[in-house]
Amino acid sequence: MFSLCYEFSCEEELFQYFNNELEKRNKPFLEEFIKEKSYMIPHPTHPYEIGRVIKVTSNRLSLVSIDSNFYSVPDKYVSCKTLEAIVYVNYINIYDQKSNLIATHEKKDGQGNYSIKFSHFIETFFKKPGAIRNSAALKQAPLILQTIFNNYFITEPQKFLYFLLETNAFDDLDLIGVELGILKRKFGPRTNPKYLGPKSTYKYPQTYSSDSLNEICMNQLQHIAQTFNQGENK
C-alpha cells in the first residue's frame, strides 16, 4: 500500500496506521458486500470433497470398474447397480446406496489392474472353501495372512475363515504376526488364537525396572566419561 506517511515512532504505530487506512478504503465496498451477503446461500456444513464422484456398478464377481481398473466390494453387493465411488489422487472410497463406506482401495495406475481384498469374499469362500488356495484374493492378501494359511490351514481352509472372523484378524494382523514369530515385537502380549495350537515360543524382549534402568544409564555415562578422559590424556 502506498502511503503519504512514511515515518513512524514505533512498529505498533505503523500497524495501527495501516489498519486505519485499510478500513477507510474498504468501507464503501464493505457496505455493498453486506447487502450482497443476504443473497448468498449458506456455507456447507460438511467439508468440500476434493475427489471425483462417480456412479459405479459391481459385476457378478463383486468388482467395480473405475478408470479401466477393477476394485472389489463385499460380496453381498454382487451385481449392485446403485454404488458410488469417490476417486482421490491416491485412493478410492466406495459407498452403498445409503452412503455407507463399504470399501477403500489404493488407486491403481495403468489399465486392467485388480485390487482385491480377501475380507470382501468371506461369504463366498464359506460356500467354496477349497477355492481359497489358488484365489486372487489370497495372492493379494497381506503376507501374514498368506503365511498363516499355508502353515496352519492349507488342508482345512474352512477353519481359516472361522479363525479370521473370531480373532478379528483383519484388524490385528501385526499382533498375530508377532505371536507367530512372523514379525518382530512392537506391541503388548496377545492371547494365542485357539486354532493355532500351542502358544508360540517367540521370546519377547526383556523389560527393566526403573532401578535397573538408572543403573544402566549411570554405567553408560561412566563409560563415556572414561572415553573422553583417555582422549584428553593422549
Dump the DSSP string for 60-116: TTSEEEETTEEEE--GGGTT-S-EEEEE-SSEEEEE-TT--EEEEEEPPPSSS-EE-
Task: Compute the distance between CA of residue 84 and CA of residue 57 in angstroms, rounded to an integer.
Answer: 8
CA 32 vs CA 23, 25, 151, 161: distances in Å:
14, 13, 74, 66
Tell me the pLDDT tens digit for each residue of 46-73.
677 789 999 999 999 999 999 999 999 9
Provide the percentage of residues in the chain whose pLDDT is more than 70: 70
Which of 94, 80, 101, 82 lies closest to 52, judged by CA? 94
Q: What does pTM read for this prediction?
A: 0.58
pLDDT tens for residues 150-181? 988 899 999 988 888 877 666 555 555 555 55
**pLDDT recorded at residue 69:** 96
CB neighbour list of residue 225: distance below 8 Å, 6 or more residues apart: none
Written as nine digits, the cell of 105 is 482401495
